[in-house]
Structure 1
């Protein structure tokens, strides 16, 4: 019986064995096709890419994601366009690699333009692949990283390419505030293509090799007569320092991608989660005695607020956003007691820490980002007011300053403000004062909270007495002293409940960590509405 059964089994499997052989042939063919797709257009194209100091799309993805975690989507996709020679050239991937993997074991979706294929230009199939991976990222609730290195719309495909960009922009907007979106500029990005990065949460650029502009140097010269290089028009340093389009700029791709990984470690997967906790090796009760020496009691003396932040946060580590743009305000992500926080702080070293148009915009966008992704906000105040001047007024400082006011008022995450020294006028209100909804407000004994500085107040309130005095200068000194004693002493705001406590600067770290721990379960709802109408 055993022999008969064995014979029957062999006889039954004989036809299947033949099919298995055919399947193996097909699998071998698939491996050849995949190898072709993985290799790219040619060795020469790869060498050209490397000669420019640029990595290939797959090399970039390997750097970004955990080893072996990348799962590619639509690797074998090809365009279906005809005419202009396209029908004779149909490479696999169609110039963009899409898929998902992990960074520190957390899911991340990614697409990377392959400049070796059609210069990374976007066509219909190319765009459809990006649309799909964006939809997958939104549905899965995971960050999306785009590695941009493309020449814009594929001219040969006409309006289909333009429609492809429209689909990307629409999805960028749909994903805004839902999942973190990070654009990494690793090559050219011209024309309408530049609007996708502008819609995302963070933009990284690499010096010398990446550029962003709506109209290139040739068009600028033809229209205005101005001559300028690509980097001079839209390079990393220009956008990091002048335009504010770029949040982070680095010298090489490897460092840039490492910093993308670090940023991802500080962000939640989506708007329904909290940022990941980190190891808390820095004692929460560590005293900050250094702050007594770092911050001069004289409100007119400058100091580096970055050093204050470094002293307070875990292990002195923080990631500053827009470090080189609008430097009179600092926006940074850090950890306090292992928990991620967003820090907004005036920088007395630049323009005395005043708020101006660019600083207001920078801080407003950062506050909105923190609120969208459940990141508590700590605000460090040392602000003399808004920057006066005709240019600021005509440039719309009222409108732009209102953006920051709106962002704070609209934020429902835990909010703590700390007044280090001066906090004058409307800038004090705008920088998350208790009156606009800060959950807790602390102040150092060096605080001066008032409508304006004592000298300015004296000139307004006691102008007539000073003018009529036998010794106007002596009278000025006397009334200034009286104004400070009556309305600007360290406990004036605390006595009226506008400051919750006046604390020893050395206790700053412990106070913030304990307060954030208490506020972690905060729940706040906004009125039912479709969306607000923030000032633009």
Structure 2
């Protein structure tokens, strides 16, 4: 037995040393934690249980140079994070630059399968120069990687999947953070890139994917910050699709009314305001965990709590592009609402939008297709849905943001709410252009225009439309803005046992 234990101890020592002291020092010199240090930061002390530590790259390197390959460059196992059981992996850049070998890919494939079977969140920490290929005997080493992609996709909607890009993530493996439910990218060292030439200095960086591609949910200032954000994110998520998110006592009065809400929105609907000011006043303790903050920032998405219960919040932001729904914001909304539905997290919509933008530019970008995608998704989600219309709810955006005809569970409106196919000003010019032309000749343009506009605004007001229960443009109740928070919380309580059935079918087909 002593001989076996000695061999075992030697292998364990190799695994703990990773790529060696020299490469570890280089890693730390770049301001990055090692793979094991990252796990220690993430996992509760003493809870990480490694599996696959003895695995090595069994193939001959294509250049004939032998290199150490402890755990084939990827540390895998399970642990507790803030008391919650998770499955995790951490790519070790000190082992052949974190390149993904054949055995490492098969480890990942099984890890994803185990996460689904054990119904535990899967967290991946990525720091990899790409795939480690071998051309010996016709084997290029992608079988395991394809199996990982398949298994990772199959557990979508079963368990939450979080990726932390703390170094390079290039080649075909770059799809992993995008397949994930949430991706966190390090501002300085993170680099996500499929391949090909770069044509700008910021290409592949965290800012690039946050602002341009929309493939980043959170940007981190350091490894420690990324791990802290992952822990915070996990606190809003359930273990799996059959459980509810953690209920946390926030100590905020559910009956709290906010007088300040009366002063945020300008009286003139042509003027804007920052929706964050309203969000901060209605959610528990003003805490809002925003996602994709700098991507399509005219639509705000993120997690919060109402009455200690986790909710997903979607809100138009009039301060940016008047809160329109164009292709990027539509993609952002669609992805988020489908995640909420998969894990039965209530969706709260705060609405103030001038609708989908018309014109040649937007048609070329597929604005109709993106609008159709939102219609399809909203019609098919069954999680609790609460809509609060704050001011404008125009055109097709009125539908996809949860108007009465889309049957949200509850729809409330502030007294400032206007429902219309488009803005009243546009309607006046389109319908009464002859009258306005004549009034202009007579020098009475402003008087006639304002007269007609005021009539339309009165007709489009929720204080008029709310008198008709069966009309397309209506709400369940007009509410005092100061009562927004308690109204939402009471609605959530009423929806605790909600059940909604969809037609019996194999699956629906979403517009591409």
Pick the TM interval, shorter chain. over 0.9
CA, structure 1 residues 434+86, in 2 after alignment: closer, same or farther (shift >3 Å)? farther
SS of the residue corresponding to residue 386 of structure 1 reads coil
Contact 2:416 2:461 in 1 (8 A): no
Question: Alignment partner for residue 170 of structure 2, among 183, 190, 212?
Answer: 190
Contact 2:68 2:95 in 1 (8 A): no
Once the two structures are superposed, residues 372-397 of structure 1 have per-residue CA deviations (whole angstroms, 9 ceiling, x without a partner) of 11100000001111123322111100
Aligned to 1:84: 62
Question: Alignment partner for residue 264 of structure 1, among 224, 228, 234?
Answer: 234
Please say if 1:460 is aligned against 2:433.
Answer: no
Please say if 1:301 is aligned against 2:278.
Answer: no
Aligned to 1:415: 385
Once the two structures are superposed, residues 210-234 of structure 1 have per-residue CA deviations (whole angstroms, 9 ceiling, x without a partner) of 101111xxx426xxxx4x44xx210
Aligned to 2:21: 43
Please say if 1:527 is aligned against 2:503.
Answer: yes
Write the mapping of 1:315-334 to structure 2, written as runs, cut at 5 A.
315-334=285-304
Contact 2:69 2:96 in 1 (8 A): no
Question: Alignment partner for residue 432 of structure 1, among 379, 402, 413?
Answer: 402
Unaligned runs of 5+ in 1: 1-22
Deviation of residue 28 (structure 1)? 4.6
Aligned to 1:156: 134
Please say if 1:495 is aligned against 2:468.
Answer: yes
Q: Matches of 1:142 and 1:386 in 2, distance apart?
A: 39
Q: Matches of 1:368 and 1:337 in 2, distance apart?
A: 23
CA, structure 1 residues 64+83, in 2 after alignment: closer, same or farther (shift >3 Å)? closer
Contact 2:373 2:511 in 1 (8 A): yes
CA, structure 1 residues 82+487, in 2 after alignment: closer, same or farther (shift >3 Å)? closer
Aligned to 2:40: 62
Please say if 1:482 is aligned against 2:455.
Answer: yes
SS of the residue corresponding to residue 125 of structure 2 reads strand
Deviation of residue 86 (structure 1)? 5.8
Q: Matches of 1:532 and 1:318 in 2, distance apart?
A: 32
Please say if 1:174 is aligned against 2:154.
Answer: yes
Aligned to 1:124: 102
Please say if 1:97 is aligned against 2:80.
Answer: no
Contact 1:80 1:87 in 2 (8 A): no
Contact 2:134 2:140 in 1 (8 A): no
Write the mapping of 1:382-397 to structure 2, written as runs, cut at 5 A.
382-397=352-367
Aligned to 2:11: 33
CA, structure 1 residues 139+510, in 2 after alignment: closer, same or farther (shift >3 Å)? same
Contact 1:332 1:342 in 2 (8 A): yes
CA, structure 1 residues 518+86, in 2 after alignment: closer, same or farther (shift >3 Å)? farther
Aligned to 1:249: 219
* TM-score, scaled relative to structure 1: 0.91
Deviation of residue 83 (structure 1)? 4.5
Deviation of residue 81 (structure 1)? 0.5
Aligned to 1:18: none
SS of the residue corresponding to residue 109 of structure 1 reads strand
| Number of equivalent positions | 504
Q: Matches of 2:222 and 2:77 in 1, distance apart?
A: 24
Q: Matches of 1:277 and 1:487 in 2, distance apart?
A: 40
Write the mapping of 1:201-212 to structure 2, written as runs, cut at 5 A.
201-212=181-192
Q: Matches of 1:404 and 1:467 in 2, distance apart?
A: 39
Contact 1:142 1:270 in 2 (8 A): yes
SS of the residue corresponding to residue 156 of structure 1 reads coil
SS of the residue corresponding to residue 186 of structure 1 reads strand
Deviation of residue 159 (structure 1)? 4.8
Contact 1:386 1:427 in 2 (8 A): yes
Contact 2:19 2:68 in 1 (8 A): no
* TM-score, scaled relative to structure 2: 0.95
Deviation of residue 489 (structure 1)? 5.0
Contact 1:333 1:343 in 2 (8 A): yes
